[in-house]
Amino acid sequence: MFFDPIYWVVIGAGMLLSMWASARVKGTFAKFSKIRSGSGLTGAQVAQRILQANNVHDVKIEPVKGKLTDHYDPRSKTLRLSEPVYGSGSLSALGVAAHEVGHAIQHAEGYAMLAFRSWWVPVANTGSGLSMIVLIIAAVMGGAQSVLGANLALLGVALFATTTLFTLVTLPVEFDASKRALLSLQKGGIMPASELAGARKVLNAAGMTYVAAFITSLLTLLYWAYRLGLFGGRR
């Protein structure tokens, strides 16, 4: 595996894509963090306003340390906004806060894809933890060239596929939350069209990190299936 040039091409492509997506979201967030919204509201205040507008009254809003660590915890119904978002009135802060509220609204409405992703988390965690061990053993056993190797290859690929499916399901969940965010900012009169364009760029950049994660996972899955001879012959 470690001497297989295809492996390094796949890993390198995934790393470059992830680095590009990460740099883009950080750069876009930093750019629009310097532009304050004319509403005068902070990220926390915008989050509270959107929650109330959607009749969601049982979600707590808390600050959390770090940068771009914003998330919604459906288990405790808590919206955690990072320090650069919670108390800031920038376009970036308001866009990110509204996006996370989008997840809270998804939860309140029983959005199917969010429910499935939450249910799938332990499955994906188990698959992620075991897949590489099984895949490497399958490679040592000759992959599809032996009965045991073929069975292990199928098992390993199936285990890894649980993480690929998780990254795939994450896409509609995140894109829907961003759509809800922009709509809430517009309908609530929080942002005019000029400011909304900035918030949209921040959320689009953030969305690319999830696209990069899916593509990287899919490429890795296809590599192992090919490497172990499940299609295209054994390498």
Closest CA to 1 of 137, 134, 139, 132: 139
Q: Which is the catalytic residue, given 62, 83, 100, 195?
A: 100
Q: Beta 60-64 vs 78-82: how paired, if at all?
A: parallel
DSSP codes of every residue in 197-222: HHHHHHHHHHHHHHHHHHHHHHHHHH
Spacing of C-alpha 202 from chain mean position: 14
Catalytic site includes residue 109: no
CA nearest to 205, candidates 25, 64, 71, 63: 25
The answer to whether 170 and 214 are in contact (CB under 8 A) is yes
Catalytically annotated residues: 100
